[in-house]
Amino acid sequence: MKPREPKHLVQLVDKRKNEGNYRQLSEMPAHMVDFSSNDFLGLARETEIEDAAHTLLSQYKLCSNGATGSRLISGNSKFYIDTEAYLSQIHQSAATLIFSSGYMANNGLLSSVPQSDDLILFDELCHVSIREGIRLSRATGIPFAHNDLNQLEALLKKSTAEKYVVTESIFSMDGDLTPLMEMTELCEKHNAYLIVDEAHATGVFGWGRVQELKLSQRIFARIITFGKAIGTSGACIAGSQQLIEYLINFARPLIYTTALPSYVLARIRAAYAFIETHPERIQDLHGRIAYFNQHAQSLPLIRNESAIHALLCKGNEAVVDLSKHLNQHFFFVKPIRYPTVPKNTERIRICLHTFNSTHEIDALIQSIRTWQEKYLLQASEQM
């Protein structure tokens, strides 16, 4: 006898299937070329980092299995404290606090810091973790048009409340860059606290675009994620000592979550050290980005300087067909469909990596062009 289940479990999943939005878990076959993952610098597969992490664990004489509890119970250690001090030095911050993921860092920061009478202005394309953190806060959240500084200033002028502005330095779906210098100046002009998510910039633009633009001391808080270019997992919030003390006392995702195990911290430390001693990895990545931009000029792309490129393909049916075509030609990509992105902005999210050869990039571009010709021909025949 089966246990009872709510009717909507089947109804809503069937609705997704009928609309072409059904999600399934899959793995990347070993024979396919990765143009999908966030492992921009190839550090997730770097054996030198694995070896260095094991050395660190041995030096600290640490158990490598589990943390045994939350940071406030039994999960804290000298290694944790030393790792946060190391990250503070690297990221030119008074203090940092490690969370289990970027999602939890955004959630913890935004749900606890702004208060009920405060105003949070956030870019309309911000990640769902930012939106959900804002929703959980008691503050008023208002989106502004993507990278629209004029609208942002108009909203800042209207309010006499304590104000927070939230953005990403590189946006995860379009891969475009925020005008951080101008936004920082705007926030300073109107006494707003600027929060920047550096998830897709850390490691790609050195230690992030905030540091690249020398804005470290002018930003209220940064969210730095280790699951993208750093090649492991977890995240940290960088800010003042007072902010970190506050989060330790009020950020629920930190307080009520088991701490990261020592081996994850070791891989974070080892990955940062690897980047410090191998700056050519970042140079290689930007070489691939420049090559792709030069040779893919005829494609309907949102072009930018980051490792993420959106190949626009209107409609869920079309973008799924394109992804299947590319998969059949051994390119691992995923379709990004509505409602994850607005209708008619469906896309293939192409991620470039240091391990993608120019030959692979050429072959990917040619395969996209082949599909375009075939799809246009089929569309004209059906008219």
CA–CA dist 383, 380 (Å, integer): 5
The answer to whether residue 197 is catalytic is: yes
Among residues 61, 67, 101, 95, the alpha carbon closest in space to that of 81 is found at 95
Active-site hit among 34, 123, 168, 198 = 168
SS3 call for 363 = helix
138-168 tens-digit pLDDT = 999 999 999 999 999 999 999 999 999 999 9
Active-site residue, 172 included:
yes
Q: Which helix (H) or strand (E) holds 331?
A: strand 331-332
Compute CA 70 distance to the chain's CA centroid, rounded to the nearest angstrom: 24
| Three-state DSSP class for residue 191 | coil
Quick: pLDDT tens for 234-257.
Answer: 999 999 999 999 999 999 999 999
3-class DSSP state for residue 90?
Answer: helix
Place of tokens 């040779």: 295
Q: Which of the residues 200, 309, 325, 334 is marked catalytic?
A: 200
Average pLDDT over residues 223-239: 98
What does each C-alpha distance from 277 to 133, 270, 273 come to in angstroms? Answer: 36, 11, 6
- The pTM is what? 0.94
Q: How far apart are the first and last CA of the chain?
A: 52
Q: Residue 277: left if φ>0, alpha if ψ -120 to 50, beta else—which one?
A: alpha
Averaged confidence pLDDT in the chain: 94
Of these residues, 228, 325, 334, 353, which one is catalytic?
228
Binned at pLDDT 50, 70 and 90, residue 364 comes out as very high
Mean pLDDT, residues 174-196: 97
Distance CA 274, CA 224 (A): 17
Q: What pLDDT, on the 0 to 100 scale, is given for residue 381?
A: 46
Q: Which domains does the chain have, with CATH numbers?
A: 47-277 (3.40.640.10), 279-378 (3.90.1150.10)
Tokens for 355? 């391990």
Q: Would the pLDDT of 42 be above 90? A: yes
* 38 included as an active-site residue: yes
What does the pLDDT look like over 276-306, one tens digit per residue?
Answer: 999 999 999 999 999 999 999 989 898 889 9
Q: Report residue 251: phi and psi, to 5°.
A: -85, 105
The lowest-confidence range among 143-147, 252-256, 310-314, 373-377 is: 373-377
Indicate the length of the chain as a whole number.
383
Which residues contact residue 16 at a Cβ distance below 8 angstroms, ignoring those fewer than 6 apart? 22, 23
Name the residue with tokens 């203090």.
95
Catalytic residue selected from 197, 323, 346, 353: 197
Of the residues 111, 118, 127, 137, which is catalytic?
Answer: 127
